[in-house]
Structure 1
Amino acid sequence: MFGLLARLSEIDSRAEAAVRVIAAFDALVEGRVSASTLTRATAALAECTAGMHLLDGTALRVAHNGTVDSSDRDVPRSRIDLGDGRAVWIEREGDAEALDDLILERFALATRVLVTPPRVISAATIADPALTELLISESAGTEERARAIQLLGLVPNLPIRIVAVSTSEDRDPGTEAVALVARTRTPVRPLRVATVGRTAGLILQPRQNADLVVSDLQGSVRDRLQERDPGSGRSLDLRVGIGNLVSPQDARTSWLQALLALRFTVQGENSAVVDHALLGSLTLLADVPISQIAANVDVVALQAISETESGKLDLRALDALCRTGSLRLAANSLHMHHSSIAARVTRAEERLGWDLGTPDGILRARIALQSLHFLNNGES
């Protein structure tokens, strides 16, 4: 691990180096390393002394070669305060390096996850599954919900929002959910996480800046999807559905909204996060029986196109056009040239026989593509 970190400075591409920095800290978080190991890794990565103020008031400083540095030199520090007397910093003599801000930010995020006091970890992250299921249960009474709200440490009169997180079968959705919140720039406390089946439920009750939670999560997911699975090298499969703000007593409503929004997500930087509040009348599509969807002529036509790899790319281009409203924006979302998008949309248009240059044609394609998504995922 430390050999990898030390070699990062030799990488010519800053963009690639930034991705590797993020991956290195993600690996440290996943490995649940100690405070000293995290600080030592940061110092090796930054090639300068790194430090951390712990909750008990002690300071941990490690030089770039991995040795504990107990000196008290007057060296310029870039610092982030974490609250409760905790802080992290890096010390560099001379000009700052290009990746210093990113390294310090990831150091702080990793510290929030790994070096949180036990009393905060138990209350702020992992929720009792039984209490969570009781909170979102259809059959629970008012008194039972009130008790669950109290035991989960939620404020009874402060709105909550539930977020549903889904990932591939080889990854833990609960871990991914915590990692997403750790990446947000707006602190979210209290936070509760419980896994229901293959879906993680995030119970968020932000005390301030509640409106920023959605945009922060969208940014976190985009950042995560730009990384690669260290094992397979493939893009990560990560999708998020966001429920509305509700009273804690109405947690089930937000949970069901989050699950419904999750059904509308499609893997990709600009479609992996769906906010239920923005779906509006599109939610009516979720009530159409799967048998009717399978028999629809538009869905059948799209299914035929999707049987080849080239056809799948054509449908991705068409979907991007429907979501963004313009060829240029669609091209940006898929990191392709707009002429390539135009060619693929034209090819799909010829096979379907629809006029995709009209609002009605785009609406028809949008509905059919979403219906095909439901069909392929076995959702009715």
Structure 2
Amino acid sequence: MKGLLRRLSSLDADAAAAVRVIAHYQALLGGGAVDPVTLTRSTAGLAQCPAGLELADGSTVRFAPDGVALPGVPGHVSGSVELRPRGRVWLERDGADAPFDALVLEWMAIAARVGPRVPGPSPRAADPALVERVLSERESIEDRTRAVRLLGLRPALPLRVVAVAVDAESDAGVVAVTLLARSGLAATVPVATVGPLAAAMVQPGQGDDSPAAELRAVLADRAREGLPGGARSRVRFGVGGGVPPSHAATSWAQARAALRFAGDGPDEQVMDHEELGPLTLLAEVPAARLRADPGVRALAELARRDAGPSGIAALAAFCRTGSLRQAAGELHLHHSSVAARLAGVEAATGWRLNRPDGRFRAQLALYAWRLSRTD
């Protein structure tokens, strides 16, 4: 971790600071159960502002950044994260939030939830050079196997590679470590930034089960909690198949292919290569050829209109659920609003969405349109 921080500091001061936040909480969790006093005092010192924790029984713990306990209830809360079923964590910063307050709060919440039952392995920032060596097809099997061991992975167990993409304002590696930590995977998960993406190597202790369900659950939790500021980065996951660690490049290619199918809807942010099945063959079609398809051209033109993105979101939800009311529930809209948006899509594309063949054409065109934008 120290070596990684030195490398990050020379490249990106913000990335290094974010990794230090994560390292702080992973050090706490690695030492066993984290009691509320230790967690709150250390958070206040890390954030350099008062911090608080409300327990499930309604009692509160508050500390100043110098480690002095604070009595009573907070007068001003600058940011907070709810705990389930009850409780919350918060910061009491005067003035504008610091750049990493959202990340501090999210990791404080992680520690508050999992402190009494800390799992053995934990997602962590890994040396990018080692990760890239494992994912490379150019390296020898001996070098890849050695890198696997240095990352704390077991050469005899299958692994899955997860590709993570976030918006341009966030570091993909930091977001990936945070979300994977929240997912509670009982797995060794080294994470590193590889180009514009993050690569996470998930190696469950029992077989090669996909982490897709856990990732979808944690994204749903984040949406319900309404995390502050930058903690709600737009994020998408592609999950590769289970392979021997010496063939991780295959899973990495599958993960990146699955990522191209991911959308912005709550049920489309995580795409599993194995779940996609034969649809993955679409990813082998050149993007230029996809863009030439009339259905793809119609969606691209629709997306450029003012109301186009909302129409495409309604189309995606309707194709996925097959029900106007279920699509409306997913989008938190009245069903008449969704119907009006779908009517606009039908007028722009010529599809008849009340017919199975029309929905099938629309779903294929949606996938092809996404692939055409992520060459």
- With structure 1 as the length reference, what TM-score do the two structures score? 0.70
| Alpha-carbon shift at residue 126 of structure 1 (Å) | 2.1
Answer yes or no: is 1:181 the counterpart of 2:180.
yes
Correspondence 1:366-377 to 2 at 5 A: 366-377=363-374
Distance in 2 of aligned mates of 1:271 and 1:162: 18
Native 8 Å contact 1:48 1:63 kept in 2: no
Tell me the amino acid that sits aligned with residue 369 of structure 1. L
Distance in 2 of aligned mates of 1:124 and 1:272: 20
Answer yes or no: is 1:276 the counterpart of 2:301.
no
Cα 1:245–1:103, aligned 2, differ >3 Å: closer, same or farther? farther
1:170-206: CA deviation from partner (whole Å, max 9, x where unpaired): 111111011101212x343322011101111111112
SS where residue 254 of structure 1 aligns?
helix
SS where residue 159 of structure 1 aligns?
coil
2:51 matched residue in structure 1:
41
* Ranges in structure 2 where 5+ consecutive residues have no aligned partner: 1-17, 29-38, 45-49, 73-81, 90-105
Distance in 2 of aligned mates of 1:29 and 1:45: 23
Correspondence 1:261-272 to 2 at 5 A: 261-272=258-269
SS where residue 125 of structure 2 aligns?
coil
Cα 1:31–1:194, aligned 2, differ >3 Å: closer, same or farther? closer
Native 8 Å contact 1:48 1:64 kept in 2: no
One of 244, 253, 270 as aligned partner of 1:247 = 244
Native 8 Å contact 1:160 1:204 kept in 2: yes
Q: Larger deviation: 349-358 or 205-214?
A: 205-214
| Alpha-carbon shift at residue 350 of structure 1 (Å) | 2.8
Answer yes or no: is 1:195 the counterpart of 2:193.
yes
Native 8 Å contact 2:53 2:87 kept in 1: no
SS where residue 240 of structure 1 aligns?
strand
| Alpha-carbon shift at residue 41 of structure 1 (Å) | 2.7
| Alpha-carbon shift at residue 266 of structure 1 (Å) | 1.0
1:206 matched residue in structure 2:
204
Q: Larger deviation: 127-136 or 301-310?
A: 301-310
SS where residue 201 of structure 2 aligns?
strand
Cα 1:225–1:173, aligned 2, differ >3 Å: closer, same or farther? farther
Q: Larger deviation: 331-340 or 248-257?
A: 331-340
Distance in 2 of aligned mates of 1:190 and 1:50: 32
Tell me the amino acid that sits aligned with residue 217 of structure 2. G
Distance in 1 of aligned mates of 2:145 and 2:290: 41
Q: Which has the larger radius of gyration?
A: 1
2:219 matched residue in structure 1:
221
The one of the two structures with greater contact order (alpha-carbon pairs below 8 A, sep at least 6) is 2
SS where residue 279 of structure 1 aligns?
helix
Tell me the amino acid that sits aligned with residue 284 of structure 1. L
| Alpha-carbon shift at residue 249 of structure 1 (Å) | 1.6
Cα 1:194–1:111, aligned 2, differ >3 Å: closer, same or farther? farther
Tell me the amino acid that sits aligned with residue 51 of structure 2. A
Cα 1:138–1:337, aligned 2, differ >3 Å: closer, same or farther? same
- With structure 2 as the length reference, what TM-score do the two structures score? 0.71
Cα 1:30–1:190, aligned 2, differ >3 Å: closer, same or farther? closer
Cα 1:98–1:112, aligned 2, differ >3 Å: closer, same or farther? closer
Answer yes or no: is 1:306 the counterpart of 2:303.
yes
| Alpha-carbon shift at residue 142 of structure 1 (Å) | 1.8
SS where residue 149 of structure 1 aligns?
helix
1:74 matched residue in structure 2:
none
Native 8 Å contact 2:123 2:177 kept in 1: no
One of 326, 339, 345 as aligned partner of 2:336 = 339
Cα 1:268–1:226, aligned 2, differ >3 Å: closer, same or farther? farther
1:69 matched residue in structure 2:
none
1:343-371: CA deviation from partner (whole Å, max 9, x where unpaired): 22123213322222222211111111222
Cα 1:288–1:349, aligned 2, differ >3 Å: closer, same or farther? same
Percent identity, please.
41
SS where residue 166 of structure 1 aligns?
strand
1:76-111: CA deviation from partner (whole Å, max 9, x where unpaired): xxxxxxxxxxxxxxxxxxxxx996645489756236
| Alpha-carbon shift at residue 259 of structure 1 (Å) | 0.8
| Alpha-carbon shift at residue 238 of structure 1 (Å) | 0.7
